[in-house]
Amino acid sequence: MSTTTLDDPISAGFIPADAGYEAEELLTRVVWYYYVGGLTQQQVAEKLGLTRLRVNRIIGQARTEGAVRFDIQLPMAGCVALAEGLRVRFGLTEAVVVPSLDDVQETQRVIGEAAGTLLNTLLDDGVKLGVGWGRTLWASVRNLSSRRLARSHVVTLMGSLTRGSGINTVGVATAVANRIGAECHYLAAPIYCPTTEIRSALMAHPGLEEVLDLASKVDVAVISAGDMSPLSILVSTNIVSQELESLKKAGAVGDILATFLGSDGIPIDHPLRSRVMGLAPETFQKIPVRLLASGGAHKEPVLRAALRGNYVTHLVTDELVARMLLEAESAEEMEI
């Protein structure tokens, strides 16, 4: 709830009465898109069907009345309703839904920041935290509270690319560990081994065996999900791109921790599965708190698979995907 009282924006002439939203929610959408989403006033106006002047007046009113600080103090009923729908439909402990943006990377950013805010509530000193990789998780670091959880541990749940930016597994884990002042443990191996024999040899290494054992015993895990499009970091690698058609033929809709899933959430039968250096899905399912942060319409199939496969206890996604997930489930129930 807002900590300030705003004048009624409809009667004040800031928001048209037929805009299709409750007054407070539309006001919140305007300031969210402008301050958090990074849209210009003109872009906000076009997105919500308002004039630029009206958007400017709404922003000015919100700022004057103290509704906009470093975060936005107003709820968005539409997002809250979708989050509750996801929580109930998929048996989640908690769900967070943020407004969708037209730009994919900006959507990933705001989902990541929301995931960082949620993750703050799940971390106490002594916690063992497992992390995945990707742009969304990299963005989550921004909203992690800087503190010192000296008795805590951060563990990578999967291998890494042999080259890459901060969104790589090592980069994300290091950034998270630095943010919370925790010790970091790395699964120092590639995401995929060239052969199953090499994987077996690496798995026998005492150091890697120790990290995998620690990864299987974390209290909280935060991961993202990859789809089958060129937008996926994993799909853009040589190893996966060469196998893309056979993965699709086997029924893959995307991956979690580099293991590809079918639409039912069950890992598909494919040679890449036996070469993954990372936590197996059935082991991941035993972690008490499993936070999945991912969004964008292209991610809906893999997110639905992950939810169906019971890999998720906490979900952060965007409004469009939330609606797609709930509509798809409702349509399937009607067919049955």
Cβ distance 174 to 144 under 8 Å? no
- Can you read off the two tokens belonging to residue 169? 């597994």
H helix intervals, the chain = 23-31, 41-48, 52-64, 77-90, 104-120, 135-140, 169-180, 196-203, 206-216, 238-249, 281-284, 300-308, 319-335
The SS3 call for residue 36 is helix
pLDDT at 281 (0 to 100):
95
pLDDT at 71 (0 to 100):
58
In the chain, the amino acid numbered 108 is Q
Kindly state the DSSP code that residue 98 receives in the 8-state scheme: E
pLDDT at 64 (0 to 100):
74
pLDDT at 162 (0 to 100):
76
> Nearest to residue 320, comparing CAs of 82, 65, 12?
82
Local confidence pLDDT in tens for the 336 residues of the chain: 333 333 333 333 344 444 456 788 888 899 899 988 889 999 999 999 999 999 999 998 887 777 766 556 666 788 999 999 999 999 999 999 999 999 999 999 999 999 999 999 999 999 999 999 999 999 999 999 999 999 999 999 999 987 666 688 999 999 999 999 999 999 999 999 999 999 999 989 999 999 999 999 999 999 999 999 999 989 999 999 999 999 999 999 999 999 999 999 999 999 999 999 999 999 999 999 999 999 999 999 999 999 999 999 999 999 999 999 999 888 876 666
Element (H, E) at 131: strand 128-131
Apex CA 175: angle with CA 189 and CA 256, to 5°? 50
pLDDT at 14 (0 to 100):
41
> Nearest to residue 68, comparing CAs of 81, 59, 76, 77?
59
What gap in Å lies between CA 127 and CA 54, rounded to an integer?
A: 47
